[in-house]
Amino acid sequence: MNCPINEQTADGYLVGRCWFHLKEGKFCPRHGDVSKAVEVFNEIGKLTLEEEHNPELKEAIKRNNSR
């Protein structure tokens, strides 16, 4: 399986799915442990926004959009 994270820039624009292969079905070389995102993808077939997976990115997007 490939990583189910929908990647974003630091200002929140979507750039597309991460296509790294998951080691053991839950570890992405770029995003780390994505087991929760894998569960969502397997249940409903939707990707997880990178900002929902990474709280630091969510804060960076907020900062960048407030400028």
DSSP string, 10-63: TTS-EEEE--PBPBTTTEETTTEE-HHHHHHHHHH--PEEHHHH-HHHHHHHHH
Please give the pLDDT value at position 23.
86
pLDDT tens digits for range 11-66: 899 999 999 999 899 999 999 999 999 999 999 999 999 999 999 988 988 898 88
DSSP state of 55: H
pLDDT in the model for residue 32: 96
User: For residue 20, what pLDDT is reported?
Assistant: 97
pLDDT above 90 (res 10): no
Question: pLDDT band for position 67 (50/70/90)?
Answer: confident
